[in-house]
Amino acid sequence: MSSWVRVAAVADCDVGTLKGVMVEGTPVVLANIDGDIFALQDECSHEEYPLSDGELDGEDLVCIYHGARFECATGRNKSLPAIRPVKSFAVQIQDDEIYIDLS
Ligand code: FES
Protein backbone atom coordinates (compact mmCIF):
# COMPACT_ATOMS: atom_id res chain seq x y z
CA MET A 1 0.00 0.00 0.00
CA SER A 2 1.33 3.45 -0.91
CA SER A 3 2.10 6.01 1.74
CA TRP A 4 2.72 9.36 0.07
CA VAL A 5 4.29 12.06 2.21
CA ARG A 6 5.14 15.64 1.27
CA VAL A 7 8.86 16.15 1.79
CA ALA A 8 9.78 19.53 0.25
CA ALA A 9 8.87 22.12 -2.31
CA VAL A 10 10.40 21.73 -5.77
CA ALA A 11 11.84 25.22 -5.30
CA ASP A 12 13.86 23.92 -2.34
CA CYS A 13 15.80 21.44 -4.50
CA ASP A 14 17.67 23.23 -7.28
CA VAL A 15 18.82 21.49 -10.45
CA GLY A 16 22.13 19.74 -9.89
CA THR A 17 21.88 19.71 -6.11
CA LEU A 18 21.20 17.32 -3.24
CA LYS A 19 18.96 18.07 -0.30
CA GLY A 20 18.69 16.04 2.89
CA VAL A 21 15.32 15.90 4.64
CA MET A 22 13.99 13.92 7.59
CA VAL A 23 10.69 12.21 6.75
CA GLU A 24 8.84 10.60 9.62
CA GLY A 25 12.13 9.50 11.17
CA THR A 26 13.69 8.34 7.91
CA PRO A 27 16.60 10.34 6.47
CA VAL A 28 16.03 10.97 2.77
CA VAL A 29 18.21 12.66 0.18
CA LEU A 30 16.54 14.34 -2.78
CA ALA A 31 18.52 14.67 -6.00
CA ASN A 32 17.55 17.02 -8.80
CA ILE A 33 19.02 15.83 -12.09
CA ASP A 34 18.07 18.15 -14.95
CA GLY A 35 14.70 18.83 -13.30
CA ASP A 36 13.89 15.22 -12.47
CA ILE A 37 13.71 14.56 -8.72
CA PHE A 38 14.89 11.28 -7.20
CA ALA A 39 14.80 10.17 -3.56
CA LEU A 40 17.14 7.78 -1.79
CA GLN A 41 17.70 6.86 1.82
CA ASP A 42 20.18 9.41 3.13
CA GLU A 43 22.56 6.84 4.53
CA CYS A 44 25.47 5.35 2.61
CA SER A 45 25.45 1.55 2.55
CA HIS A 46 29.19 1.58 3.24
CA GLU A 47 29.49 3.30 6.62
CA GLU A 48 26.11 4.99 7.08
CA TYR A 49 27.31 8.57 6.55
CA PRO A 50 24.78 10.96 4.95
CA LEU A 51 24.74 10.77 1.17
CA SER A 52 23.41 14.34 1.14
CA ASP A 53 26.97 15.45 1.95
CA GLY A 54 28.06 14.04 -1.40
CA GLU A 55 27.70 15.34 -4.93
CA LEU A 56 26.00 14.52 -8.20
CA ASP A 57 27.96 13.26 -11.18
CA GLY A 58 25.69 12.75 -14.16
CA GLU A 59 22.98 10.33 -13.05
CA ASP A 60 24.93 9.17 -10.01
CA LEU A 61 25.34 10.33 -6.45
CA VAL A 62 28.93 10.06 -5.23
CA CYS A 63 29.48 9.66 -1.48
CA ILE A 64 31.95 12.27 -0.30
CA TYR A 65 33.43 10.06 2.40
CA HIS A 66 35.02 7.20 0.49
CA GLY A 67 33.80 7.66 -3.08
CA ALA A 68 31.07 5.02 -3.43
CA ARG A 69 28.75 5.72 -6.34
CA PHE A 70 24.99 5.07 -6.47
CA GLU A 71 22.49 5.37 -9.32
CA CYS A 72 19.98 8.04 -8.25
CA ALA A 73 17.07 6.46 -10.10
CA THR A 74 17.37 3.08 -8.39
CA GLY A 75 19.81 3.28 -5.47
CA ARG A 76 21.97 0.64 -7.15
CA ASN A 77 25.58 0.62 -5.93
CA LYS A 78 27.96 1.12 -8.84
CA SER A 79 31.39 1.22 -7.22
CA LEU A 80 33.33 0.14 -4.19
CA PRO A 81 33.56 0.48 -1.28
CA ALA A 82 29.75 0.11 -1.29
CA ILE A 83 28.69 -3.47 -1.89
CA ARG A 84 24.96 -2.97 -1.26
CA PRO A 85 22.36 -0.62 -2.78
CA VAL A 86 20.54 2.08 -0.84
CA LYS A 87 16.74 2.19 -0.68
CA SER A 88 15.07 4.34 -3.30
CA PHE A 89 11.62 5.91 -2.99
CA ALA A 90 9.03 6.63 -5.67
CA VAL A 91 8.57 10.37 -6.24
CA GLN A 92 5.54 12.39 -7.33
CA ILE A 93 5.33 16.11 -8.00
CA GLN A 94 1.98 17.81 -7.36
CA ASP A 95 1.46 21.58 -7.38
CA ASP A 96 5.23 22.19 -7.16
CA GLU A 97 5.50 20.01 -4.05
CA ILE A 98 7.58 16.82 -3.80
CA TYR A 99 5.97 13.68 -2.39
CA ILE A 100 7.64 10.35 -1.80
CA ASP A 101 6.18 6.92 -1.12
CA LEU A 102 7.59 5.80 2.21
CA SER A 103 6.04 2.32 2.07
S1 FES B 1 30.46 6.12 3.88
FE2 FES B 1 29.97 6.35 1.78
S3 FES B 1 31.65 5.48 0.74
FE4 FES B 1 32.12 5.21 2.84
How many whole angstroms from 9 Cα to the centroid of ligand 1?
28
Q: Which residues of the chain are under the pLDDT cut of 70?
A: none
Report strand pairing: 69-71 vs 60-62.
antiparallel
> What's the CA gap between 93 and 101, in Å, rounded?
12
Ligand 1 pocket, mutate which of 49, 55, 57, 60 (most atoms under 8 A from CB) = 49
Ligand 1 lined by 46 (C-beta under 6 Å): yes
Ligand 1 lined by 66 (C-beta under 6 Å): yes
What is the domain range of residue 60?
Answer: 4-101
What is the number of structural domains in the chain? Answer: 1
CA separation, residue 52 to residues 17, 31, 71 (Å): 9, 9, 14
Whose CA is closest to atom 1 on ligand 1?
Answer: 47
How many whole angstroms from 49 Cα to the centroid of ligand 1?
6
Please state the pTM of the whole predicted model.
Answer: 0.95
pLDDT tens string 32-57: 999 999 999 999 999 999 999 999 99
Identify the helix (H) or strand (E) that includes residue 92. strand 91-94
> What's the CA gap between 97 and 77, in Å, rounded?
28
pLDDT score for 103:
83
Q: Which atom of ligand 1 is nearest to the CA of 81?
A: 3
| CATH assignment of the domain containing 44 | 2.102.10.10
